[in-house]
Amino acid sequence: MSRDRFGLSAALTTPFDAGMRVDVPKAVEHARHCLNSGCNSVTLFGTTGEGSSIGDEERGVVIQAFLDAGIEPKQIVVGVMANSYVDAAVQSRHALDAGCRGVLLAPPSYFKNVSDDGLFVWFSSVFTEIGAQARDIILYNIPSVTAVEISVELVSRLREAFPKVVAGVKDSSGNWPFTEKLLAKHKDLAILIGDERSLSAGVRLGGQGAISGMANLYADRLLPMINEGRDDPAMIEAVNELLKFPVTPAVKAMVAYHAGDDGWRRARAPLQALSDLDYKRLTGIFDRLFVAAAA
């Protein structure tokens, strides 16, 4: 993965049918839309995709459906969020055996105040359990969700110990000094900016792209930020507004609005769909920022 620039991956949101089962055909259709809009890949089962709420059997069905639909394995990144290193390895191995581009691997999140030493052993155990096919692992730093920070020092230790396995870091910390330090230290890795507000600045310092929830909606706006390091004040304001709502249901609400399909608003428990009032508020804000500006 590190040989080629990563580019833009849509952190694909997961559609559910009326019975709250994964709507696989709709997921495939949306993935095709994102790829046709300029995304280099799609990322399944990340934070925006409610990955921690998707069961192992469902994950296998979705990945196979994507492959059967003709989406190339190199266009698929698979998110893994598990507390057990055994479960994390099983899910990662499934994706890698299918030829997927890589694995977005979050740290374990049940236990709090864990040390770098403990995290090093956990990640090492995942890689050892995966076995010889371990490759293209993107470490996922999103402490606002996991309450676990992947330090720059831990990244360095893992990269040194597993140079053929650790390929990148997705930094969704929203902590710009941390992002700067990570970019300065690791030109050898694909550093992906998870906070779109820092995307252009990160690219200008060597970032290779993004796994982005906003790519479900506005890949065309994100591509200049990634390819040219071009600032987009409207995107920054949109993310600031989005963060005033529960983020994943808010992204789903905007996909529903763009698609004219209210079913996209469904979120699997414990998340809940935005209320009708919040849905109206959010769509009005985004229309002001993007539709009116383009007119």
pLDDT of res. 294: 57
pLDDT digit string (tens) for 21-55? 999 999 999 999 999 999 999 999 999 999 999 99
Percentage of the chain exceeding pLDDT 90: 96
72-87 pLDDT, tens digit each: 999 999 999 999 999 9
pTM of the model: 0.95
Residues 184-202, mean pLDDT to the nearest whole number: 97
What pLDDT, on the 0 to 100 scale, is given for residue 79? 98
pLDDT at 3: 53
Cα–Cα distance, 103 to 112 (Å, whole number): 23
Q: In whole numbers, what is the pLDDT of the chain averaged over residues?
A: 96
142-170 mean pLDDT? 97
Mean pLDDT of 48-66: 97
Q: What is the pLDDT of residues 204-241, one digit of tens each?
A: 999 999 999 999 999 999 999 999 999 999 999 999 99
The answer to whether 99 touches 136, Cβ cutoff 8 Å, is no
Beta bridge partners, 76, equal: 42
Q: Within 13 Å, how many C-alpha atoms sit on residue 113's CB side?
A: 0
Question: Cα 133–97–187 angle (5° rounding)?
Answer: 55
**Look-up: residue for tokens 């057990």?**
84
Task: Note the pLDDT of residue 4.
Answer: 75
Mean pLDDT of 246-274: 97
Confidence at residue 291, expressed as pLDDT on a 0 to 100 scale: 78
